[in-house]
Amino acid sequence: MRPLQRILHIDDVPSIQVVTRIALEKLGGFQILSCASGAEALAQVRQFDPDLILLDLELPQMDGLELLQQLAQLIDLQRIPVVLLTGRKEPVELADLRHLGVRQLLLKPFDPLLLATQLNAIWEAEHE
């Protein structure tokens, strides 16, 4: 199994982008592409070729679920696991999102010191 290396992170909150990038680059050794919108992610996803997508559900203009539907037309979301990172209060039914590549849901606020370990565990479970 090859290691997790490239993570596409989509979140519109600059402070969360910074904390996530530091946590994943410095602690996890990953290469991160941070996008502030669904449109930005759609424009860059093929060129970046992520191993995993870390996605906030609450985005401006296009919510995370709509973005996933559009990403599925560009890349293979059954091969590229999606992890939702959200502060959404209403329940999200993971079983309903599996067809869109969603493997796990992590809640905000999250522990930046544990994020790289959590994503590696998801990656490893995906490739057992």
pLDDT of residue 47: 97
The domain ranges of the chain are 6-126
Tell me phi and psi for residue 47, to 5 degrees: -65, -40
- Residue 90 pLDDT > 70: no
Identify which of 42, 37, 45, 39 has the alpha carbon closest to the alpha carbon of residue 8.
45
What's the pTM value of the predicted model, to 2 decimals? Answer: 0.94
Helices 112-126 and 14-22 pack at an angle, to 10 degrees, of: 70
DSSP SS3 for 127: coil
pLDDT band, very low/low/confident/very high, at 91 (cuts 50, 70, 90): low
**CATH for 6-126, options being 3.40.50.720, 3.40.50.150, 3.40.50.2300, 3.30.70.100:** 3.40.50.2300
pLDDT at 57: 87
Model confidence at 36, pLDDT cuts 50, 70, 90, reads: very high
Higher-pLDDT residue of 1 and 43 is 43
